[in-house]
Amino acid sequence: MKRSSKPVRQCHACLLNLGKVCWEYANPRRQWRNRRCPGFENPALYNELTEWQAAPHVKTRKQLRQAAGRKRVTPAALRRRAQIVKSTG
């Protein structure tokens, strides 16, 4: 059996389907072996997913770096702001 973490066609309507991976199972194809995935329309798992999505996440180093870069004021940005202030006021 092909081992892949990618959800299969039957996972289309499942909330646990995150596009490239299944939130719960490492091998979605294997879950559908008996014509019914145990996670499909499973209210307990759906609740767990909702709680997980609502919980605050630890930012990765890349996300922290990107956030710092967005806050940084460059000389070009300062000039643009000054031009905007001149033109409006």
Smallest distance from ligand SF4 to CB 66, Å: 29
Q: How far is the CB of 57 from ligand SF4 (least distance, A)?
A: 21
Query: 31 or 34: whose CB is closer to ligand SF4?
Result: 31
Residue 52 makes contact with ligand SF4 by CB under 6 A? no
Residue 24 in the binding site for ligand SF4 (CB under 6 A):
yes
Query: Is 11 or 85 the residue whose CB approaches ligand SF4 more closely?
Result: 11
Q: Compute the distance between CA of residue 52 and CA of residue 59 in angstroms, rounded to an integer.
A: 15
Does position 40 interact with ligand SF4 (CB under 6 A)? The reply is: yes
Contacts with 21 (C-beta within 8 Å, 6 or more apart), sequence order: 5, 6, 7
The DSSP letter of residue 33 is G
Determine the Cα–Cα distance for residues 19 and 5; give it in Å rounded to an integer: 10
Give the residue ranges of DSSP H helices in 5-88: 28-31, 43-54, 61-71, 75-88
Residues forming contacts to ligand SF4 in the complex (CB under 6 A) are 7, 11, 14, 16-17, 22, 24-25, 28, 31, 37, 39-40
